[in-house]
Amino acid sequence: MPELPEVETIKNELSKKIIGKKIKDIEIFSESSINYKKDDFRKIAINLSINKIERRAKILIVELSDHYNFLIHLKLTGQLIYVEKNLEISKKHTQIIFHFSSGDHLLFNDLRKFGYVKLLKDEELKSYFINEKIGVEPLEGIFTLEKFKELLRNKRGKIKVALMDQKFIAGLGNIYSAEVCFYAYVNPNRIVSSLEEKEINLLFEGIKKILTEAIKYKGSSVDTYVDIYGEKGKFVPLLKVYGRKGKKCYRCGGIIKSISLGGRGTYFCPQCQK
């Protein structure tokens, strides 16, 4: 499941490959993955070219010519796969194929079909982000310790649920929010208002460090995540709690436990996360 580090990786790699290229044709196999009727989507997007690629939360924004944009969410099993010209296209759960004039291709694969590629005009994109009220970008300068404290003061409920809330902080999902709690020695069940100053400091530090490190390793390949070359991310071996149910805690030797929290599988060490 692509979270901030995975989407950031895709953004970086894709920027090197498709900026300046023109969309020559689009094949659409799943109409539920787009926000128009198949033919209308094609009619609008064909002949547009790629100007720039940005990321906001876990969303990829591909800025096109003519004041259009693709807004892409990979959700759980979405993949963007870049195929160099003259190479064979191997389709696996492929919902959309973008063919560029250069002869290269971009595949949008999605096993569970929760993801989407929406075609939005500039003003629709703008109002989309106003309406969705997406939270602060954790790796940007605006996200300071003071800002984090202020956000926490106004937040109720459990810390891990809060970290996963996209309207609170953008981009943390199930994997990294569990890792951040572990980093800070904080039990994911803890109520936000009960957190002590030093725990808040560690949570803040953990968010910055873990996300930065995960980007360096091109993300975590849990589920079906791969980068645009089909390569797996290399961060999974560096995960401290996620997916380690029943195994020994690297830090204290306790047994990692898995519980359901906010409807999500949540991993933590009951011995050192208090």
Partner DNA sequence: CAATCGTCCTGCGGGC
Partner DNA sequence: TGCCCGCAGGACGATT
Residues identified as active-site:
2-3, 58, 264
Based on the shown chain and the rule CB under 7 A, indicate whether residue 80 belongs to the binding site for DNA: no
- Residue 158 contacts DNA per CB under 7 A: yes
**Judged by CB under 7 A, which of 156, 194, 197, 237 binds DNA?**
156
What one-character-per-residue DSSP string does 57-93 give?
Answer: TTEEEEEESTTEEEEEE-TTTEEEEEE-TTSPP--SS
Query: For DNA, which stretch binds (CB under 7 A), given 63-71, 151-159, 231-239, 246-254?
Result: 151-159
Radius of gyration of the chain from Cα atoms? 20
- In DSSP terms, 136 is beta-bridged to 169
How far, in Å, CA of 178 to CA of 173, rounded? 8
Between 86 and 154, CB nearer to DNA: 154
> If binding is defined by CB under 7 A, does position 22 make contact with DNA?
no
Q: Which residues contact 6 (CB under 8 A, 6 or more apart)?
A: 74, 218, 219, 220, 225, 227, 233
Under 8 Å between Cβ of 261 and 189: yes
Interface stretch with DNA, choices 9-17, 64-72, 145-153, 255-263 (CB under 7 A):
255-263
Residue 52 Cβ vs DNA, minimum distance, rounded to whole Å: 21
Q: Is 257 in the site for DNA (CB under 7 A)?
A: no
Q: Which of 19, 264, 270, 272 binds DNA (CB under 7 A)?
A: 264
Distance of CA 89 to the CA centre of its chain: 25
| Span near DNA by CB under 7 A; candidates 97-105, 137-145, 150-158, 194-202 | 150-158
Please tell me the chain's helix, strand, coil percentages from 3-state DSSP, rounded to the nearest 5: 30, 25, 45
DSSP string, 1-46: ---HHHHHHHHHHHHHHHTT-BEEEEEES-GGGBSS-HHHHHHHHT
Contact between 210 and DNA by CB under 7 A: the answer reads no
Residue 5 found at the interface with DNA (CB under 7 A)? no
Q: Are 50 and 36 in contact (CB under 8 A)?
A: no
Asked if 173 is part of the footprint of DNA (rule: CB under 7 A), the reply reads: yes
Should residue 111 be labelled a site residue for DNA when binding is judged by CB under 7 A? yes
Instruction: Confirm or reject binding of residue 157 to DNA (CB under 7 A).
Output: yes
Contacts with DNA by CB under 7 A lie at 1, 32, 57-58, 73, 75-76, 93, 111-114, 132, 156-158, 161, 164, 166, 173-174, 191, 260-265
